Amino acid sequence: MLKNRRQSVNRPPTPDLTDDQAKVLTLQEVINIKLIESGEKEQLMELVREKLTECGWKDEMENICRAYIKKQGRNNVTLDELVRVITPKGRASIPDPIKAELLQRIRTFLVSAAL
Amino acid sequence: MQAQLICFPRVYISPVSVALSTLMSGPNGDDMPSDSQNMFFVMLVVFPMSIVVCVQLALHVFGDLLDSIIVDVASECHRIVRLGLERNLDEEEEELRLSAQARARIADPSNNVEANGKYVVDIFGQTHPPVANEIFDCMNCGRSIMAGRFAPHLEKCMGKGRKARLKATRSSTAAQNRYSRGSPVSTYSPYSSTASINRLSNGNPRVATGECSNGTVEEP
């Protein structure tokens, strides 16, 4: 039993700060925190949701969901399955102008956050 | 575009280092810039791959946003279906089946569309008689009328035909409106009604001088 305890304490070593990979992760986390704190993330989410609903992307995704559920049977579908089914199609079917505008806004935010 | 940026890392770094120095010396929102901010700026200055990282970061953020939205859509749909609030799930199939059946019935040549003559069979297999046969009471005269004969009855009852006009002149108000042109007083009505009786003598001449018969009318 003591052995088990020791194993549970044995964590993998914390990543070294000089490691490139670790730095990229840290940067992403930093950006994420900045996004949330400044409220930009919330604004971006609302903007994207509105645009995607307008252009019918959301309804397409819902139709795919319903068709999948109808096929599988109403009580056999888990949320995880649904997400796994939709994600590739969702990412691929984003209209280009919306994607471009969103990326532009994010890059602007990154630059303004850096300066 | 990425390749171009990689070729000129020095050009990119210098404005950032200038900005960094101004930021360090100039006034800032908070007195002490946070550690994470410092680290961020240091990273950008030290690593020439920062441009690529910037683009990667943007894509990563975009992917994050998209994932959240997708999970939202999926969970909303999942909830509605599981709670049974999605009523279309089975009803659509039912409707599709019914309409397919109806279409098949129309296309079926053995159906008695012309053979029955009077009674036409519609796509649901119902037949309707040529004259509507529901019976109700006329609100004008109070008689029991069959629905299919209601319009002609109203014509007579309310005043399109000659006989109806005859009846109408008996009531004093109607006489003022229709037959007595230029005679405004109701005292003239007996004269006008007798005159009209003499003029239009057909059927049963009514001897109703001075009487106003509003409600009770007899059909010939």
Report pLDDT digits (tens) over B139-148: 888 889 998 8
Contact B70 A83 (CB under 8 A): yes
Query: Is A26's pLDDT higher than 70?
Result: yes
Q: How far is B21 from chain A (nearest CA, A)?
A: 10
Strand partners, B137: B144
Structure tokens at A69: 């559920």
Count interface pairs A-B at CB distance under 8 A. Answer: 105
The answer to pTM > 0.80 is no
B/e letters for A6-31, b = 16+ CB within 10 Å, e = fewer, are eeeeeeeeeeeeeeeeebbebbbebb
Contact B66 A90 (CB under 8 A): yes
The answer to whether the CB of B111 falls within 8 A of the CB of B127 is no
Instruction: Write out the H or E segment, with its range, that includes residue B135.
Output: strand B135-137
A21-30, A40-49, B27-36 — most confident range:
A40-49
First to last CA, chain B: 100
- Return d(Cα B145, Cα B24) in angstroms, integer: 98
> Which of A20-34, A43-57, B136-150, B169-183 comes out lowest in average pLDDT?
B169-183
The residue with tokens 């986390």 is: A29
Best of A110, A111, A112 to substitute, by most chain B Cβ atoms within 10 angstroms, is A110
Contact A79 B19 (CB under 8 A): no
pLDDT-flagged residues of chain B (< 70): 1-37, 39-49, 91-92, 108-120, 123, 160-220
Best of B53, B69, B83, B96 to substitute, by most chain A Cβ atoms within 10 angstroms, is B69
Which among A13, A28, A18 has a CA at the least distance from the CA of B36? Answer: A28
Structure tokens at B107: 């296309």
Q: What's at B32, amino acid-wise?
A: M
Contacts of B74 (CB under 8 A, 6+ apart): A61, A65, A79, A82, A83, A86
Residue B26 φ/ψ, nearest 5 degrees? -75, 175
Contact A65 B77 (CB under 8 A): yes
Structure tokens at B175: 């006489």
Contact B82 A62 (CB under 8 A): no
Nearest chain A alpha carbon to B20: A115
Q: What is the mean pLDDT of chain A?
A: 83
Residue B120 φ/ψ, nearest 5 degrees? -90, 135
Contacts of B58 in chain A (CB under 8 A): 103, 106-107, 110
